[in-house]
Chain A
Amino acid sequence: MRLSALLPLLLVSLAGAAPVSFDEVRPVLEGRCVECHNPAKVKGKLLMTTREEMAKGGESGASLLSPKDGEIVKRITLPKGHDDIMPPKDGPLAAAEIDLLRRWVAEGAVWTSGVVLKARDKAEETARAELTAKLATIQKLEILPPSFSLETRRDLHRVVVFATFSDATTRDVTAFAKLNVADGKIARLDGFSLAAAGDAGATELVAQIGGLTAKAPVAVKDGLKDRAVSFRLDVMPVFLRANCNSGGCHGAARGKDGFRLSLFGMDPAGDYVRLTREMVGRRINLAIPEESTVIEKAVGAVPHSGNKLYDADSAYNKAVLEWITNGAKDDPADVAKVTGIEIFPSQIVLEGPGATQQITVRAKYSDGTDRDVTELAVFTSNNDPVAAITKGGLVKSGDRGAAFMLARFNVYSITSQVIVIPQGLKYERPKAEEFNYVDKAVNERLHRLRILPSELCDDETFVRRVHIDVVGLYPKPDEIRAFVADKSPDKRAKLVDALLQRKEFTELWVMKWSELLQIRSGINQGNNAPPFYKNALLYYNWLADRIGKNVPIDKVVVELLSSSGGTVSVPSVNYYQNELDRLKLSENVAQVFMGMRLQCAQCHNHPFDRWTMDDYYGFNAFFAQIGRKTTDDPQEVVVFNSHNGESQHFLTKQNVKPKFLGAEEPDLKPGDDRRRVLAEWLASPRNPYFARNLANIVWAHFFGVGVVDPVDDVRISNPPSNPELLDELAKRLTDYNYDFRRIVRDIVLSAAYQRSSKPNETNAGDRLNFARSQVRRVRAEVLLDAISQITETPNKFQGLPLGARAVQIADGAVSNYFLTTFGRAKRESVASSEVKTDPSLSQALHLMNGDALNERIRRGKVVETLVAAGKKDPEIVDELFMRVFGRRPLPAETAAVVKSVAAEPESRLAVLEDAFWALMNSKEFYFNH
C-alpha cells in the first residue's frame, strides 16, 4: 500500500507545484480511511465514499473539506498517540501523504464526478504493489478476448486485461488498467463487462497500464434490439451449470424423485417434453410462472433434495423464469447450435501462492453469433493444490507445479494450462544438454516451470538402463566392461545402434504389441470358439513376422483391421475373435490405436471429453458389417464382410452413418469393406491421434510415464504434460514413415533419457516433466529372464524350447507362478494397466524363500564354479556385483561379504551363495534406475 501511495507522490514532487489531482489522493483515502467510513461501517457517523459526504462531515459536524481548517487535516496531523488521531490503526500517515491531503483540501478538493470510493482490501493492495514493482518489465499487454462482437442488448462480454512479463509470468491486470471504449455511443463498459450502447457500428476497447496500450476491436449489431429467451440456448445451459442433469441427480437413468432430465443435457427435445408435457401445470406453471416447480425447487422456495441451487434474483433463475413467462415455448427447428468454445487466456503462469486470474469462455454458434458463457460453463481443475478454480472461473494459485483448468459448456470441453512458480525465485536458465528435438521440448518446459534437470547418468548406469529398456536383457559383465572402457565420444550412440539391430529388441516389441492386440487363447472359452492355443500361436507368429521385418506399423495396422478369412489360414483375423461384442470391439480399437476411451459415450455424451453419442455410434458403424461363420474345424472361424448391418444410436434408435472419430464421414461406395476404409484412415496422418498415440506408447516404455498418462486415456481433461514434445514426436514418427526403430533411437539418445535419477532441489517431486530419470521396477518377463541369465539356469515354458525367454511366450494364457505374481499381463483386456509392477507380499516371499531363486542359485552353480576356479573372495564379489547390479562393488560392500566369509570359513560356499541371494533380493536388482 505504501508503495502504491508513494508512486504518485514521487511524480508530484518531480512536477513541482502542479495542483493535486483526485487520482493522487484516491489511493490514500481508499487505503487508509474508507475501510471504517463506508456505508457498511460508518464510524463516527462519518462517510467518506463521496465528496458530498466528506464535505458534510460526521458526528462532530465539522466539514472535512473546509479549505481553511478541514477536519481531515486537523485529525491526521495530531501527534502520534493522541486519542483523536486518524487513522487510529497502523500508525499515522506518512509526511508526504499528509502534505498531499493538506494541499488537496487547500486547493478545493477536486473530485472526479460520479466516483464512489471503495476500501482497498489487503490482497488487492499487495497485488497492486507487486504489479507496480514489476510494471517496467511488462512485455505484452493484451485484451482478452482479442475482439468483441455484440449482438442484441442482452449480449454482455467480460473483459480481461492480461499482461505478460519479461520473466514469462503473467498477471490479470484488469482491475489496475485504465479501460475505456473509444466511442461511447457504440459500446459501453458495465464494470468489467462490455455491452452495446448503440444499435450498430464499430469501435475499439482500449486498455492502458504503465505506458502500454492494448486495443481490441468491438463490433455491434442490433445493439438496441432484444432477443427472446430460448430453451436450448438459455435454459438448458442453466441445468448443466446448476448440476440438475448430472448423473447423481435428475440426469440419472431413472431420474431423481420422479423427475428425469437427459444426462448432461444430451437430449434437449426429450427434456422439453418431460418439462412441459409430464405433470402438466406443475413443473411449468404458465399462469403463475413463479410457482412452477422447476423454479421453486431451484431457488429453495420449497424443500428440494438437491437443496437451493441459485438465488431467485440470479441470472440463472431470471432466464428460466422469463422463458416460462413467455409461454415456455419450444425452439424453432433452425435454432442455432453451439459450434465450439474458446477459453481465455489459454496459458497462464502465476507467481507464488494466492495469485489470481479470471478465465472467460466464449461460445460460437452456427448462426455466426457468439456469447460469453463464463457464467454458464462448468469449471474444474485437475490439480487443486496447484491451482484451484471457482465456479465463476477465477483461478487461484497454490503450490508450485502445473495444472489444467477444464471448462465445459454444451458438449464441448476445453482447457487452459496454469503453471505456478515460486515467488521471488532466484533462477537462471541452465545450459542444459540439448542432443535433439526431444531435449528442446523438454528443456523449454522445464524452463517454464523453473525446474533444473538432473545431470547425465554415468556409463555403468546407462549401459544397464539401455539394455533393459531396449532389448529386455541385463547387460553381461563383459559388455559393461567393454562399454565403460570404450573411449570414443559417440559410444552411447554406437551402443544404441547395435542394440536396435538385435533380435531381442524386436521380441520385446512383439511382446508389447501382443498385449495391445490381446494375443491369448481361451478368451472365448465359454463359446468354444477361437482363439485356441493354435490360433494364438499363429496370430503371434504373424505379428512377429511383421515386426521382425520392420514392416511400418501403419501397414501392420491396416492389414490387421481389414483382414478377412479364417482364424487358422489368416491369423490376423483372430483380432476379431478377441471381442465378439461389436460395441466393445470398437471401443477397444479406439483405446489401442488412438489411446481413447469411448465407453462413456455409449450411453451418454462423454462428460470430460469431446465425444458425443453421435461420434460413438458413427465410429461403431465401421464394425457393423462383420460376418462370422464356423467351419468343420472348430479352430477355424471365418471372419468376412457381410455387407449389411448398421449401428443403431442408443437414444434416437436411428441408424448412424460411419464417421471417423473427430473427422469426416467417408464417402462409402457399395461393396466397400467399412473396416478397410476405417483402417486406411486410422493408420494415416489424416488421423492425428494415431502417431501421437504410438509415440506416446513408445515414450512411456522408456520413461515409465507417458506424456499423456496413462497412455490409453487421452482426453481433453487429461492433457499431455508437454504438448510440444508429443506433437514433435508424432510428427517425426509420421516423417519416419512409422518406422518406430528410429523414434526409439531419438528417445534413447536424448539427454532427457540419459539423465540420472538423482534429484536436485527443484526436481525431486517431478515425474511428469522428465527432469530426471525415474526408477522403474523391471517388468515380470524381463525380471524372470534376468534371473535365468544371471543364475545360468534355463527357463522352460509351454510350447517353447528349453532356455527360451519369458519375453518370447506367445500366448497370454501361458504363465507360471513367478510371472503371475510379478504382474505379467493376462491380455484379457486392452487396458494398459494389465501390466502390473506393484509390489506385493507374495512377491517378497517368493524371492526370499521360493524356488525362483534358492533352487536356481544351487542348480546354476555360479558361485560354485567361481570357487572351483580358485577365485578369491573379493574377485567373486566383484563378479557377482557385475552380474546382478551391473557395477563394481563399493569397498564397504566387498568388506561386508568378505567379513561374513571370514566369520565362517568352513561354510564359505554357503556364505557366498547367500551374498548372491542377497544381491538378487535387493531393490537395485529389481529396479531399472
Chain B
Amino acid sequence: MKLHKNCQGDHPDFLSALSRRDFLQVGVFGTIGLSLPEMLRLQALEISKVESFPALADAVIHIYLPGGIAQHESWDPKPFASPDYRGPFTPIKTSVPGEYVGEKFVNIAKIMNKLTVVRSMTHGEAAHERGTHNMFTGYRPSPAIKFPSFGSVISHEQGTRNNLPPYVVVPSQSIPEQGTGYMSSAFGPFALGSDPASKDFTVRDLLAPKEVTTSRFDRRRGMLAAVDEHFRTVEKSDAISAMDSFYQAAYGLVSSSKAREAFDLSKEPDKLRDEYGRNTAGQRLILARRLVEAGVRMVSVTYGSWDHHSNVRGGFDSNAPAFDQAFARLITDLHDRGMLKRTLVMVSSEFGRTPKINGTNGRDHWPRVFSVAMAGGGMKEGYVHGASDALGGEPDRDAVGPEDLAKTMYRCLGINAEKRIMADGGRPIDIVNGGRVMNDWLA
C-alpha cells in the first residue's frame, strides 16, 4: 500500500474488523520500560497480529559503503560495454561461471559462489541523506515521521542476548539514519566510540577505571545495592525499573569477561587479524564477527568513502582492496566457524553511480539501478538476482526496492515486517510499508 509521500505512517484503521485484531503482549515491553499509561495507550489502539516466521539467521552484519559505490566497478561490471561505460577497470571472472565482478574484487571473485548478489536494486533518491535513509530504514524519508533504523527495530523486537547490547555501530554513529527515529532512545545503537583499527582501541566506558580492581568493583556494586535498597522499596515506577535493567545490562557487560571480550580485538590471533587486513576495513569486520559470535544481533559497520564524482579509478584503488580482502576473509571466516548459515551479511550503499563516465573520470549519483550483496543467514549461495541493462543504467529485470530488501532482511531474522509499531500520537506504523519478502533469494 502506497501512502502519500508526506504521510507514510499509517493512520489507525477505524473500521477494520475487530476479530482479526489483538492486543500487544505486555511481555514484549517488559524489559524495556514503557510506562503503564503508554502500555494502555498501545493497547487502546489495537495492533493487528501478524504471522510469525521461524528465524533463518541469528544476527546481521550490515556493511555500509557510504557515498554510493559504483556498480560498474564492483558487483555489476559491464565487460562488454564500451570503455566510457565500462569504466577504467577490466572486470574479472568469478567462481560463479559467467559472472564477473570489478577488477579490484580479487578475493571476492573467489567467494562469489557463497554470495547472493542483487543487481536490480532501484529507488528514486539521488541525494546522499535521502538514499541513506532508504537503505537504513526501508522507508523513503518523510518530513512528518522519523523512521527507526534496522538495528533499532531489531532491538525493539528481539532485545538483548548474552548481556550484550543488541545493536552495535562500528566504529560510531556517523550517520543519523542509524538512530532510533520515532522510538525511544533505549533502542539506540551502542557505539564503540573508537576505531578498531587504531592502536589503542578500547570501547568507551566498557572497563572500570584502572584503579578499580575486580574486587573493588564488586565492593562498589555491593554498596550501590545497599544504598539503592531504600528507594527501590519506596518508589515504584517504570522509569526506575528501566534504569535498573540498563544497570543490570551494564553489570553484565562489565563483569562478564565473555561479553566484554567480544569488544577485545587483542583476543584474536595476530595471523587472522593480518588476513583481514590491518586497516579500518579489516579490523572493523573482524570485530563485527566477534560481536555477532558473542551474541550481538545487529552490527552496523561503515567503511570507506565511495562518492567518486571524479577519478573513480583512484577512488577504487584506495578504498576497494582493503574492503575486498576484509569482506572475503569475513565470509570464509564465518564459513570456517560454521556461523555463515546463521549470520546474514549484507553490503549496501545509498545508491549506485551514473553508467557513463563523466568529464572528470568519475561517476555521479544514480539511484535508478545499483547492487547489493548478501551472504549467509538463509540466502542462496552463488546466486544473482535481477540484472541491469547492458549499460548498467536501468533495471533490466526483477527490479527490487529498498522495502523489498528490508522486508527480506527482517524475514531472515524471523521478524514479520508487516507488524506495526506504535509511534507518538498513537500512530501505528508498519515496520516496513509494503514490499515483498524475496523468497527467490532464500536457500
Contact = CB atoms under 8 A, between A and B. Distances in A.
Interface string B194-223: 000000000011111100100010011011
Interface string B36-75: 1100110111100000000000000000000000000000
A135 interface: no
Contacts of B2: 252, 254
A789 B4 CA distance: 51
Q: Which of A584, A777, A837, A848 has the most CB of B within 10 A?
A: A848
Contacts of B208: 848-849
Given A385-B44, A838-B185, A848-B208, A246 B216 contact: no
B228 A842 contact: no
A248 interface: yes
B239 interface: yes
A599 B144 contact: yes
B235 A929 contact: yes
A848 B255 CA distance: 12
A359 to B, nearest CB: 16
Interface in B1-49: 1-7, 10-15, 33, 35-37, 40-41, 43-46
A423 B62 CA distance: 56
A384 interface: yes
Contacts of A599: 143-144
A380 B18 CA distance: 13
B44 A383 contact: yes
A827 to B, nearest CB: 15
B265 interface: no
**B212, B226, B232 — which one has the most chain A CB atoms within 10 A of its CB?**
B226
A855 B205 CA distance: 12
Given A775-B237, A893-B226, A918-B223, A248 B10 contact: yes
B242 A924 contact: no
Contacts of A854: 209, 212
B13 A900 contact: no
B437 interface: no
A840 B246 contact: yes
Contacts of B36: 765, 767
A855 B7 CA distance: 48
A581 to B, nearest CB: 9
Contacts of B303: none
A900 B219 contact: yes
A253 to B, nearest CB: 4
B420 to A, nearest CB: 12
B227 A893 contact: yes
Given A383-B40, A765-B36, A777-B239, A252 B4 contact: yes
B243 A926 contact: yes
Interface in A898-924: 900, 910-911, 914-915, 917-919, 921-924
A849 B254 contact: yes
Contacts of A776: 239
B247 A844 contact: yes
A685 interface: no
A842 B425 CA distance: 27
A243 interface: yes
Interface in B368-401: none
Residue from A710, A759, A896 with most neighbouring chain B CB atoms (10 Å): A896
B228 A774 contact: no
Contacts of B184: 838
Given A252-B2, A915-B223, A923-B240, A841 B190 contact: yes
Given A391-B15, A897-B223, A923-B228, A844 B249 contact: yes
Contacts of B424: 710, 713, 833
A763 B235 CA distance: 13
Interface in A746-789: 757-759, 764-765, 767-768, 774-777
Given A846-B205, A848-B208, A381 B223 contact: no
A775 B35 CA distance: 12
B231 A384 contact: no
Contacts of B247: 844, 848, 921
Interface string A511-537: 000000000000000000000000000
B244 interface: yes
A602 interface: yes
Contact of A850 (B205, B220, B227): B205
A213 interface: no
Contact of A767 (B7, B35, B222): B35
A926 B216 CA distance: 23
Given A382-B44, A713-B425, A900 B243 contact: no
Contact of A923 (B3, B14, B44, B243): B243
A823 interface: yes
Contact of A911 (B219, B230, B232, B246): B219
A17 interface: no
Which are the 7 A-B pairs with shortest beta-carbon distances? Answer: A844-B250, A918-B223, A845-B205, A924-B231, A918-B224, A896-B226, A839-B243
Interface of A: 242-243, 246-248, 252-254, 378, 380-385, 391, 584, 599-600, 602-603, 607, 710, 713, 718, 757-759, 764-765, 767-768, 774-777, 823, 833, 836-846, 848-850, 854-855, 890, 892-893, 896-897, 900, 910-911, 914-915, 917-919, 921-924, 926-927, 929
Interface of B: 1-7, 10-15, 33, 35-37, 40-41, 43-46, 143-144, 165, 184-186, 188, 190-191, 204-209, 212, 216, 219-220, 222-224, 226-228, 230-232, 234-237, 239-240, 242-244, 246-247, 249-250, 253-254, 424-426
9 contacts: A602-B6, A767-B36, A768-B37, A841-B246, A849-B206, A849-B209, A890-B230, A897-B226, A919-B227
